[in-house]
Amino acid sequence: MSGAARLRARIEEGRILVVPGVYDGLSARIATAAGFEAIYCSGGAVARSTGMPDLGLLSMSEVLARLREVVDSTELPVIADADTGYGNALNVVRTVREFERMGAAAIHLEDQVAPKKCGHYSGQQLISAEEMVQKLRAALDTRREMLIVARTDARGHAGLAEAIRRGRLYADAGADLIFIEAPTSREEIETIASSFSEEPLLINMFEGGRTPLIPATELEKMGYRLVIVPSDLQRAAIRAMQVTAEALFRDGSSSAVRERLAPFAARDAIVDLAGWTDLDSRYAEADSPRAQPPGD
28-64 pLDDT, tens digit each: 999 999 999 999 999 999 999 999 999 989 999 999 9
Calculate the alpha carbon distances from 181 to 23, 26, 211, 256 in Å: 20, 27, 9, 41
Q: Give the model's pLDDT for residue 251.
A: 97
User: Is 204 among the catalytic positions?
Assistant: yes
What is the DSSP secondary-structure string of the chain?
A: --HHHHHHHHHHT---EEEEEE-SHHHHHHHHHTT-S-EEE-HHHHHHHTT--SSS-S-HHHHHHHHHHHHHT-SS-EEEE-TT-SSSHHHHHHHHHHHHHHT-SEEEEE-BPSS---TTSS---B--HHHHHHHHHHHHHH-SS-EEEEEE-HHHHH-HHHHHHHHHHHHHTT-SEEEE----SHHHHHHHHHT-SSS-EEEE--TTSSSPP--HHHHHHHTEEEEEE-SHHHHHHHHHHHHHHHHHHHHSSSGGGGGGSPPHHHHHHHTTHHHHHHHHHHT-GGGSPPPPPPP-
Phi, psi of 152 (to 5 degrees): -120, 135
124-183 pLDDT, tens digit each: 789 999 999 999 999 999 999 999 999 999 998 899 999 999 999 999 999 999 999 999
User: Is 280 among the catalytic positions?
Assistant: no
Reported confidence tier of residue 287, pLDDT bands at 50, 70, 90: low
User: Is 251 among the catalytic positions?
Assistant: no
Quick check: 120 pLDDT over 80?
no
Q: Give the model's pLDDT for residue 133.
A: 98
Q: Give the model's pLDDT for residue 288.
A: 58
CA–CA dist 30, 45 (Å, integer): 15
User: Is 199 among the catalytic positions?
Assistant: no
Question: Which one of the listed residues 100, 110, 111, 199 is annotated catalytic?
Answer: 110
Question: Which one of the listed residues 23, 29, 40, 120 is annotated catalytic?
Answer: 40
Average pLDDT value for the chain: 94
Q: Give the model's pLDDT for residue 119.
A: 62
Q: Give the model's pLDDT for residue 47.
A: 96
Lowest mean pLDDT among 1-10, 108-117, 239-248: 108-117
Quick check: 279 pLDDT over 70?
yes
Question: Which one of the listed residues 23, 41, 66, 83 is annotated catalytic?
Answer: 83
CATH 3.30.1390.10 for domain 3-237: no
* Burial tier of 4 (Cβ tally within 10 Å: 0-12, 13-18, 19+): buried
User: Is 91 among the catalytic positions?
Assistant: no
Quick check: 293 pLDDT over 70?
no
Question: Which one of the listed residues 8, 29, 41, 54 is annotated catalytic?
Answer: 54
User: Is 118 among the catalytic positions?
Assistant: yes
CA–CA dist 93, 104 (Å, integer): 15
Q: Give the model's pLDDT for residue 121.
A: 61
Question: Which one of the listed residues 8, 29, 108, 143 is annotated catalytic?
Answer: 108
Q: Are 192 and 183 spatial neighbours (Cβ–Cβ below 8 Å)?
A: yes
When pLDDT is averaged across residues 206-220 and rounded to a whole number, the result is: 93
Q: Give the model's pLDDT for residue 209.
A: 86
User: Is 81 among the catalytic positions?
Assistant: yes
Question: Which one of the listed residues 181, 199, 224, 225 is annotated catalytic?
Answer: 181
Question: Which one of the listed residues 8, 143, 151, 225 is annotated catalytic?
Answer: 151
CA–CA dist 148, 140 (Å, integer): 7
User: Is 40 among the catalytic positions?
Assistant: yes
pTM of the predicted model as reported, rounded to 2 decimal places: 0.93
Question: Which one of the listed residues 29, 118, 170, 199 is annotated catalytic?
Answer: 118
When pLDDT is averaged across residues 5-22 and rounded to a whole number, the result is: 97
